[in-house]
Structure 1
Amino acid sequence: MKTEIFKMILPMAVIAVAVTGAFSSNAMNKNSKAFAPKQGYTHTSPSSACNISNMCSDVIGDFCTVGAEEVRLFGKTNPEATTCNVPVYKP
């Protein structure tokens, strides 16, 4: 009797462990976005130039800031752009 129950439950337990492992490894891959470094620039007004500041990230999170006043930093659409209006985030 015990061996019959064991023979039924063991394959189900192995399948359950395999399915759980597959889902957890898939979730880890989705959550492990690599740090994508982006240069952050200070931007005081639309007519002012973008001044290089700190490295930030394009992975969405808290806004990238600098200094005690927590001045918000922005990125450029491409390195040659003259304006910096792309939101960047803390790494």
Structure 2
Amino acid sequence: MKTLFFKNMLPAGVIALALAGAFATTSMQSASKKSSVSYRQGFNALANGKCGNIAVDCDDDPINPLCHISGTTGPLAYDNQSNNCVIPLYKPVN
């Protein structure tokens, strides 16, 4: 009796699992992406805390690594507040 039950129910279970996977995949593709990324312009710092003219897209979320002017190394990028570059910025989340 058990083997007959499993023989008849196994294909139905596999089909149900496949349908659930198809719908889950489709719903994940149409999910909206997080659009609340707040890009800020980060600038290189000159002497006396003044801002330079090299700008790069950064973020102000402190859980991310620090934002650099050239990739992952080099000078840090700072927030330009009244031409005062003392607040470091962070890498934007992609």
TM-score of the pair, normalised by structure 1: 0.48
Give the structure with the higher percent strand. Answer: 2
Q: TM-score, normalised by structure 2?
A: 0.47
Report the structure number with the largest CA radius of gyration.
2
